[in-house]
């Protein structure tokens, strides 16, 4: 609450401006509480909780906070519930630590809300919350589940540099604002059991769909990749092999370098066979011929192979024909993956 913040924080808030360059907070809003008001607030708080110290669960359900609310740096040592509360002014939980479950279900934030650098050691439930202004979750650590089901984000929203240690955020049914930021996020490891993988899959499916709607293609591919990796766990061996190969060769259609590296390795492998054993009766081919043929095999869709190496092809050893066929098939696949990565990287934003 603004009346309880220190002088340095009050001075910082007094200097904040809105979009029109006017002070965001009036002097009345930032006015410090008198000793009498502080005593009255403490008595009210103790009467509500029947305890002198903030130990045990904290209950702010259906509370209307009319002034600025500040719990910056506060340690909530047990569960806390703001279920159904209304914050009519600015609310900050910057750097707060929630040691127990935090219940914000159905809360209305009428002005901007700040959770920057907060830590949720247990679950954080924001289902059905209305963020009427900017919502800042940058740098937040979620050590357990984070729920934002049916949540409304109507202003700039930042999850930049968040750490989701065990579960991705569940935003099914939520409407993300166009100014949504997800850079620098640390995502949880892909689960090894199918039940957890299925739960992660649902979360990533919706995030991918939202990024597609917002035309954030790089973020969309991040969630697409994690969705596929969850599907691999669910599918199990051997059904996941094709998807794993797709991921390994192209980072699921995103890497330009990996197909090129695979083509270089395939060219070198072909050369190691064609050069010493590619000629008639498994005799050696000329080095430059073997190098050129191995390269041409990778681009079988071009007429280069038949036009330049027509005579050589007639005298190749059986092993060289098999190697060439393998190179041609693999080359087509790698060229497709290369083209897919180029399309995904440089398509219209």
Q: What is the pLDDT of residues 144-194, one digit of tens each?
A: 999 999 999 999 999 999 999 999 999 999 989 999 999 999 999 999 999
Q: Residue 251: which residues within 8 A CB-CB, separation 6 or more?
A: 225, 258, 341
Q: What is the mean pLDDT of the chain?
A: 88
How far is the C-alpha of 78 from the C-alpha of 100, rounded, in Å?
A: 5
List the structure tokens of 255: 């890497």
pLDDT at 61: 95
How far is the C-alpha of 253 from the C-alpha of 225, rounded, in Å?
A: 9
How far is the C-alpha of 73 from the C-alpha of 136, rounded, in Å?
A: 15
Task: Please give the average per-residue pLDDT across 249-263, as a whole number.
Answer: 94
pLDDT at 56: 78
pLDDT at 52: 38
How far is the C-alpha of 183 from the C-alpha of 180, rounded, in Å?
A: 10
pLDDT at 54: 56
What is the secondary structure of 179-239 as a DSSP string?
Answer: SEE-TT-BPPPPPSSHHHHHHHHHHHHHHHHHHHHTT-HHHHHHHHHHHHHHHHHHH-TTT
Share of the chain above pLDDT 70, in %: 87
Query: Residues 212-228: pLDDT tens digits?
Result: 998 898 999 999 999 99
Query: Residues 85-112: pLDDT tens digits?
Result: 999 999 999 999 999 999 999 999 999 9
Ramachandran region, residue 48 (left: φ > 0; alpha: ψ -120 to 50; beta: rest): alpha
Any idea where the domains of the chain sit in the sequence? 1-52, 54-188, 257-346
pTM of this structure: 0.73
pLDDT at 11: 73
Share of the chain above pLDDT 90, in %: 68
| Strands lying side by side in the sheet with 64-65 | 64-65, 86-87, 108-109, 130-131, 152-153
Task: Please give the average per-residue pLDDT across 326-348, as a whole number.
Answer: 90
Q: Taking 70 as the threshold, does the pLDDT of residue 254 lie above it?
A: yes
Name the least confident of 39-43, 186-190, 235-239, 267-271: 39-43
């Amino acid at each position: 609450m603004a009346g309880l913040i220190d002088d340095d924080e009050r001075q910082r808030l007094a200097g904040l401006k809105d979009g029109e360059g006017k002070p965001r907070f009036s002097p009345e809003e930032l006015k410090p509480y008198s000793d009498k008001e502080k005593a009255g607030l403490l008595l009210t708080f103790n009467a509500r909780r029947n305890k002198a110290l903030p130990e045990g669960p904290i209950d702010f359900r259906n509370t209307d906070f009319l002034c600025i609310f500040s719990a910056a740096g506060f340690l909530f040592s047990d569960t806390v519930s703001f279920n159904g509360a209304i914050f009519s002014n600015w609310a900050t939980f910057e750097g707060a630590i929630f040691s127990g479950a935090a219940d914000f279900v159905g809360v209305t934030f009428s002005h901007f809300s700040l959770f920057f650098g907060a830590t949720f050691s247990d679950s954080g439930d924001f289902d059905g919350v209305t963020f009427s202004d900017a919502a800042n979750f940058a740098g937040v650590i979620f050590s357990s589940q984070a729920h934002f089901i049916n949540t409304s984000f109507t202003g700039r929203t930042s999850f930049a540099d968040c750490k989701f240690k065990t579960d991705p955020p569940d935003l099914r049914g939520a409407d993300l604002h166009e100014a949504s930021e997800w850079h620098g996020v640390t995502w949880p490891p892909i689960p090894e059991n199918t039940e957890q993988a299925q739960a992660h899959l649902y979360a990533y499916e919706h995030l991918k769909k939202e990024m597609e709607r917002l035309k954030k293609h790089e973020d969309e591919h991040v969630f697409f990749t994690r969705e596929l990796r969850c599907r691999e766990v669910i599918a199990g061996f051997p059904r996941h092999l094709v998807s794993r190969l797709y991921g390994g060769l192209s980072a699921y259609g995103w890497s330009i370098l990996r197909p090129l590296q695979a083509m270089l390795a395939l060219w070198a492998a072909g050369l190691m066979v064609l050069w010493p054993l590619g000629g008639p009766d498994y005799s050696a081919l000329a080095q430059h011929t073997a190098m050129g043929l191995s390269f041409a095999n990778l681009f079988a869709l071009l007429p280069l192979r038949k036009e330049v190496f027509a005579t050589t092809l007639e005298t190749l050893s059986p092993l060289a024909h098999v190697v060439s066929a393998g190179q041609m098939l693999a080359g087509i696949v790698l060229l497709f993956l290369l083209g897919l990565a180029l399309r995904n990287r440089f398509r219209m934003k």
